[in-house]
Amino acid sequence: MKYSLPKLPYAYDALEPHIDAKTMEIHHTKHHQAYIDKLNAVLEKYPKLADAGLSDLMRGLEKLDMSPPDRKILQNHGGGYLNHSLFWTIMGPQKEPDKNLISRISQTFGSVAAFTEKFTETATNHFGSGWAWLVDDGTGKLDVYSLPNQDSPYLRGHTPVLGLDVWEHAYYLKYQNRRAEYIKSWWNVLKLL
Ligand code: MN3
């Protein structure tokens, strides 16, 4: 198997009370694992793609020699693998501010507070399952938008910098329908800002 579940860099209960241990455990061991299993299964059918990096496959998805249904599986489950792999690493029980990122955000959005407001609004208003993203557009410029399902910013040629999972599986046990509350609380466990 090519892809495997990355180890969580902290305990399942490390993000309490903002994200509960049960949600973290199910999210990591069940949801993330399921994306990986389906990603590996589809890649097994295309040995020629085995050595390519997943972000490169996403960037060139439309040009890959695959059947349309398999291409969709790669988009969904490759995206699911990449998105969650990033998500675990940008969170943590302790703040570890990234000075370079903070400076870039301040330059682009005016201030970290203005960025936080824009990102929160984007995540809150996203309809249905998906992610809010802070991306580097490839020219060094930062941008904020949301994408549906597990679509990766790499599909647009952008590099994901920060992502917030707003699928219900990310918050439903603790927050039920209160997505806005989950998003507000999430800033406490985003370690980089
Ligand atoms: Mn998820």
pLDDT per position as a tens digit, 96-125 = 999 999 999 999 999 999 999 999 999 999
From ligand 1's centre to the CA of 167, what distance in Å? 6
Q: Which domains does the chain have, with CATH numbers?
A: 20-193 (3.55.40.20)
- Name the residue among 78, 16, 92 with its Cα closest to residue 42: 78
Question: What is the bridge-based pairing of β-strands 130-136 and 142-148?
Answer: antiparallel
- Name the residue among 43, 37, 38 with its Cα closest to residue 66: 43
In this prediction, residues 34-55 reach a mean pLDDT of 95
Q: What is the pLDDT of residue 86?
A: 98
On whether the pTM is more than 0.95, the answer is yes
Cα–Cα distance for residue pair 41/85, rounded to 1 Å: 18
Residue located via tokens 């509350």: 181
In this prediction, residues 23-41 reach a mean pLDDT of 98
What residue numbers does the annotated binding site for Mn(2+) cover?
27, 84, 165, 169
Q: What is the pLDDT of residue 103?
A: 98
What residue numbers does the annotated binding site cover?
27, 84, 165, 169
Q: What is the pLDDT of residue 51?
A: 87
Asked if 146 contacts 130 with a C-beta cutoff of 8 angstroms, the reply is yes
* Whether the predicted pLDDT of 18 surpasses 90: yes
From ligand 1's centre to the CA of 117, what distance in Å? 22
pLDDT band at 1 (very low <50, low <70, confident <90, very high): low
The whole-chain average pLDDT of the chain stands at 97
Ligand 1 (ion): which residues have CB within 5 A? 165, 167, 170
pLDDT band at 50 (very low <50, low <70, confident <90, very high): confident
Calculate ∠ Cα 177-76-116, nearest 5°: 50
Distances (CA, A) of 124 to 145, 148, 159, 163, 181: 11, 13, 22, 13, 9
From ligand 1's centre to the CA of 98, what distance in Å? 24
Cα–Cα distance for residue pair 4/184, rounded to 1 Å: 31
From ligand 1's centre to the CA of 84, what distance in Å? 6
